[in-house]
Amino acid sequence: MPTLLFSEIQELTRQQTSLRSKYYQLNELLQRVCNSFSEDYNTSFTGLFSQLNAVCQANKIDKRDIDFARRRIRLVLRGEMLPDEQTFARDCGHLSHFIAQLYHTKVPSNLAHLYVPEKRETQKIEAIYLKKRAIVEQINKDNFVCSTVDGDEWTVVPNERTSKTFKILETGMTVNLIDTKVSDGKYEPRLIIFEPDFLIDVSQLAGCMMHYGNHPFNYLLKMFEPVSTKIFFLLGNLANQFVDDIVNSKKSEQKQIYLDACKKNFRDFALQYLVLSSETNTDFFEDTKRHFANIYKIVHQNFGSRHVNIKLDEIILEPSFICEALGLRGRYDIMSSDRLSLIELKSGKAEEFYSKPVKPKKDNLMQMTLYAEMLHYNFLIPRDKIKSYLLYSKYPVIYEERNSAEAVAEIMFLRNRIVKMLQAIRKGNFSKYLPYIREDVINENKINDKLYNNFLKPRLSEITTPLKEMKGVLKDYFCEYLTFLVREQFMSKTSDMREGGSRGFARVWNADFTTKILTGDILYDLKIKETKGNDSVENIVFQIPAYDDDFIPNFRSGEIVQVYQRNKNEDNVLNKQLIRAHIVNLRTDEIELALTFPQRNSEVFPADALYAIEHDYTDSSFNTAFRGLFQLLRTEKSRQELLLGLRKPETNPNIRLKGEYGEQMNSIVLQVMQAKDYFLLVGPPGTGKTSVALKNITEEFVATSPDGQALLLMAYTNRAVDEICGMLDGINANYIRIGNEHACAPEFRKRLLSKRVEKCDRRQDAARIIQTTDIYVGTVLSISGKPELFELKSIGCAVIDEASQILEPFIVGLLSVQNSRGKVCIPKFILIGDHKQLPAVVVQSEKNTKVEMDSLQQIGLNNLRNSFFQRLSILQQKYDWRGVTALLNKQGRMHPEISKFVSNVFYEGRLEEVPCPHQKENLNLNKTQSQTERFIAETRMGFVNVSPPEIVENVKVNTNEAKVVAKLLKSLINLYERNGEEIYTPKQVGIIVPFRNQIRAVRNELRKEEVPDYEDITIDTVECFQGSQRDFIFFSTTISRRYQLDTLSNVQTSGDVIIDRKLNVAITRARKQMFIVGNEQLLSDNQIYRNLIGNCRKIKMEVDEIAIN
């Protein structure tokens, strides 16, 4: 291993490329080395700074030299330092020396001369530091020693505000030291922030300041709290809708604004409104009228007063901010465009005396205080210049109050306690907390009043009791998966340490601009082309400039993003105001965004400004998983035993079919209908999981189910849900889709619940639509977020497609849901999937997700990254449970010469052809004019051997392969046209690459080869091709380094069979012809690829010459 690493460094020193490119590769190499040595550490890192520190400590290495190199790399990539060859050689020497120390070997002679130890620089001491990132190295009785991100060593002393935080500090923690004063060589910060890249939402944090105390367990219990429809939730949402519409509307008719707002809100929350009782409904709408009148009056009278002084045309609605300094993020209700005035709306009660408001609630006040603090640290606005108001629309009353520095320290200490608690859970210590998750511990203030005893304590008990009562395998399962989810969330929010990983949200502010460009994670220098909307800006179309050829945007339609003004290189997500949006449409030269919150104020988007778009992040999927995991504890024992695999699933052999579906499908549909608890349908590629199997199951259910009993059809991705909708349209089914308009294909939007109820003037009209519709469709996440559906409809069965791509906690919670009558809402479920295709994406390494507990291995849980579908499949094979699983083995996609390898190697030879016409026909391509055309004319499954480029600036780009793919495709088009076989269209072709950087390289070569409609050809990673098919597939393996073989594959073992799930999906996208392009010598180091190449017809093809093997 070290020999290969030294060779890479030597090659870097010889490369004739830009120094910035070489520094990027040096950074990738350092990251890879740290990943390799920290893979087994029972911890997570917020970035290379903390990871490198941990590796050096674990291996007893003086980090000074390699940390100098890390800092210089960071400065170069951020454009803050101009490097020279001598400095680069020195940093190569540091990395070589570091590698030699890790592997206990010597640096090769051709690199040894590059190593020059760094001299300790004299630290420049300032009077005060606004923010400094550091790692805690040593904790003493009265102080602690830390290493700063700049390589300095600080001795930090606590004061009255930080003394409590000092007591819970641990070595190895990453911290931000805020407003640090220097005196006599000692550093005294105003605040200490634990793990600042782990952003906590301000409203969530303030919500943990409860009447009975500020214990971090409040945060934990809220993670588990089930979603339920509350009057105050609906009223709060509607009040916010009132504010948005009153501010944005230029109408003078109050009644119409009120009605329009109510209709919008009902459309978006129809199910929640429908579960309200009629009595509550009457009182609720009387309340809404009062709140609307109060808000309207305040907006039009108080906002413009001398005291508040906010003009309507200068308001920004729902701006978002990220404050890495404090480890917070937040979304404000209302802000003035100069950022000096904030207004937060509250529809609930203030602190009252004899029903009269006397002061704001503490948690509301702390929320506003933190919002002001975020503006102070992000924009350096003096605290006394920021005016923050709390508007209680119930009364109405506006409060302007400020909190003390001690109060800020108190809530930031609570944040640190929460982060410390989550850190302990990540380390697997949740079971140690369990004895202390009690009402008396959480009640820190020892409250004993009516409010606590009659309302708050019972609500606490609803969460703490199931936690206290769990035992045995249920307890082991819960604790293991909770640890897994907390780790996964931490890494998703902070840093993704996988090779080539880019999922950590903190990359948005930690990654340098060069890296963002290379990974395609920023669109910059955007200009407004068009704005859309009636009274306000609702959609914006930006013009995308012509970037360099190697830039590949890593964005997709439907994705949530954040947009901000970027007129200078220094502008970024931390010092600019953020507006959240969805991508509506993305093309080469323009992108259209739908704003999450429309804006009346045109100053938010000046026409002459430049803009940037970056990725956004939401905790919604993790929130669903945490709640789902807890829901398993609350469900009935029989369902727990079924889901855990502690009881055998039952069947009813007396059931008979009503429909006729053909020989194979008759047998499968009959078994599905006879299953009482669940059924597993294994669907290898091309076997018609949706178009045939799901269609037949749906038809049989509709024909046999009792009146009023509904069928629930779900999938993991919205694209798969689109396919289900297409199938349902094909059989003229009456269905409702649950989900977001931006994530739904345009042709199915009319089926969305929000569209179906859009014209309903009465609640009864919407209820009638629900009552007369018995098929509901959506993603697992969208259905999980609508528990009201189970109160309104009796579900007879749920079918989950793509089940092998969904992690257990995202499914078991949904399958554990009980309605208000205590009945399990989904009595029977069908899982359709194939665990030999791509699994769920998991950030943690496979080693860190492996399960060691015997109790969990007994129920088939060997690795937490495996799907629920895979675990039930393991149990079925282990106990030979009959009648609950079937295999679809008739595939109608691939020609036999393509499917043969996959069938024999991955499916034990069990796949058969339908056969469809294209599976029986020969290649009638006799008119050839070159060796390349003859190769194409005679090949169904081909391998093209290509030498790697001599100079590689980016190991995720292979220009030689890109050129070969383009030449192959152009030859294929010419060959087919000459033989009159068929007319070429871009939708017939798919080009698969392992790295997004290769996409632009291939597309550029297609342009040079003048391939028709080349921009409409899908070029993407294999993950994005799953579920689709093309007549012709080209797979550019791209890799040029031995270590990249691991990223090319996704390997699992099934018995004695080794399965590469990525390769399985790549090959099985092709209907008629499949061409794999790569370097034979390199790929042959992998056993499966060596076998594959041996089963392909081969050609040796260079950029300028061709030779047949």
What is the predicted pLDDT for the residue at 477?
A: 98
Residue 412 has pLDDT above 50, yes or no: yes
What is the predicted pLDDT for the residue at 1109?
A: 36
Least confident of 51-65, 381-395, 584-598, 1095-1109: 1095-1109
Identify the domain boundary among 425, 459, 493: 493
pLDDT digits (tens, 9 = 90+) for 1083-1103: 999 999 999 999 999 888 776
- Confirm whether 980 is domain-assigned: yes
Burial class of 459 by CB neighbour count within 10 A (0 to 12, 13 to 18, 19+): exposed
With cut-offs at 50, 70 and 90, classify the pLDDT of residue 164. Answer: very high
pLDDT digits (tens, 9 = 90+) for 965-981: 999 999 999 999 999 88
Count the domains in the chain: 6
Confidence (pTM): 0.92
467 lies in which domain range? 410-493
Tell me which range, 275-289, 559-573, 836-850, is most confidently predicted by mean pLDDT: 559-573
pLDDT digits (tens, 9 = 90+) for 321-364: 999 999 999 999 999 999 999 999 999 999 998 889 999 999 99
Residue 953 has pLDDT above 70, yes or no: yes
Residue 628 has pLDDT above 50, yes or no: yes
**96 touches 111 (CB < 8 A):** yes
- Confirm whether 1068 is domain-assigned: yes
With cut-offs at 50, 70 and 90, classify the pLDDT of residue 1107. Answer: very low
Regarding predicted confidence, which is higher, 828 or 503? 828
Q: Measuring CA to CA, which residue among 823, 829, 578 is closest to residue 701?
A: 829
Tell me which range, 3-7, 843-847, 945-949, 1063-1067, is most confidently predicted by mean pLDDT: 1063-1067
Strand 128-139 relative to strand 174-183, pairing: antiparallel
- Confirm whether 271 is domain-assigned: yes
Which residue's entry shows tokens 């830390």? 146
Q: What is the mean pLDDT of residues 801-826?
A: 93
What is the predicted pLDDT for the residue at 1105?
A: 52
- Confirm whether 187 is domain-assigned: no
DSSP-derived secondary structure letter, 894: S
* Residues 300 and 446 occupy one common structural domain: no
DSSP-derived secondary structure letter, 208: T
Token pair of 544 as six digits:
């995308």
- Confirm whether 702 is domain-assigned: yes
Identify the domain boundary among 861, 888, 915: 888
* Residues 360 and 416 occupy one common structural domain: no
Least confident of 272-286, 457-471, 879-893, 949-963: 272-286
* Distance separating alpha carbons of residues 684 and 689, to the nearest angstrom: 8
* Distance separating alpha carbons of residues 376 and 384, to the nearest angstrom: 10
Least confident of 74-78, 453-457, 560-564, 628-632: 74-78
Least confident of 41-50, 66-75, 142-151, 190-199: 41-50
Q: Measuring CA to CA, which residue among 1018, 998, 1011 is closest to residue 968?
A: 1011
Output the average pLDDT for the chain: 92
**150 touches 180 (CB < 8 A):** no
Residue 497 has pLDDT above 70, yes or no: no
**1005 touches 965 (CB < 8 A):** yes
What is the predicted pLDDT for the residue at 500?
A: 53
Residue 653 has pLDDT above 70, yes or no: yes
Whichever domain contains 834, its CATH number is: 3.40.50.300
* Residues 713 and 849 occupy one common structural domain: yes
Torsion sign (Cα): 17, 18, 23, 24: negative
Least confident of 273-282, 618-627, 1003-1012: 273-282
Q: What is the mean pLDDT of residues 660-677?
A: 95
Token pair of 1021 as six digits:
């990673």
What is the predicted pLDDT for the residue at 279?
A: 57
How many percent of the chain have pLDDT more than 90? Answer: 77
* Residues 444 and 519 occupy one common structural domain: no
Which residue type, as a one-letter code, is found at position 689? K
- Confirm whether 177 is domain-assigned: no
What is the predicted pLDDT for the residue at 250?
A: 75
**911 touches 900 (CB < 8 A):** no
Torsion sign (Cα): 662, 668, 671, 672: negative
* Residues 825 and 734 occupy one common structural domain: yes
* Residues 992 and 1008 occupy one common structural domain: yes
Residue 623 has pLDDT above 60, yes or no: yes
Residue 989 has pLDDT above 80, yes or no: yes
* Distance separating alpha carbons of residues 437 and 418, to the nearest angstrom: 14
The beta-strand segments (E) located in 184-223 are 186-188, 191-194, 200-201
* Residues 429 and 296 occupy one common structural domain: no
* Distance separating alpha carbons of residues 196 and 173, to the nearest angstrom: 10
Cβ neighbours around 717 below 10 Å, total: 17
Longest dimension (CA), the chain: 94
Residue 387 has pLDDT above 60, yes or no: yes
Regarding predicted confidence, which is higher, 403 or 511? 511
Least confident of 292-306, 603-617, 717-731, 914-928: 292-306
What is the predicted pLDDT for the residue at 1099?
A: 86
Identify the domain boundary among 862, 888, 914: 888
Q: What is the mean pLDDT of residues 24-45?
A: 85
Q: What is the mean pLDDT of residues 710-729?
A: 95
- Confirm whether 289 is domain-assigned: yes
Least confident of 117-121, 134-138, 803-807: 117-121
With cut-offs at 50, 70 and 90, classify the pLDDT of residue 284. Answer: confident
* Residues 651 and 708 occupy one common structural domain: yes
* Residues 251 and 304 occupy one common structural domain: yes
Q: What is the mean pLDDT of residues 401-414?
A: 89
What is the predicted pLDDT for the residue at 502?
A: 52
How many percent of the chain have pLDDT more than 70? Answer: 97
* Distance separating alpha carbons of residues 703 and 655, to the nearest angstrom: 13
* Residues 714 and 821 occupy one common structural domain: yes
What is the predicted pLDDT for the residue at 1108?
A: 35
Residue 37 has pLDDT above 60, yes or no: yes
Which residues, 6 or more positions from 1035, have their beta carbon under 8 angstroms from its beta carbon? 991, 992, 993, 1066, 1067, 1074, 1075, 1076, 1077
With cut-offs at 50, 70 and 90, classify the pLDDT of residue 127. Answer: low
Angle of helix 2-14 relative to helix 19-38, nearest 10 degrees? 170
* Residues 1082 and 957 occupy one common structural domain: yes
* Residues 418 and 391 occupy one common structural domain: no
- Confirm whether 778 is domain-assigned: yes
Give exposure, 497-512, as e/b (b: 16+ Cβ within 10 Å): bbebbbebbbbbebbb
Least confident of 317-326, 496-505, 607-616: 496-505
DSSP-derived secondary structure letter, 1013: T
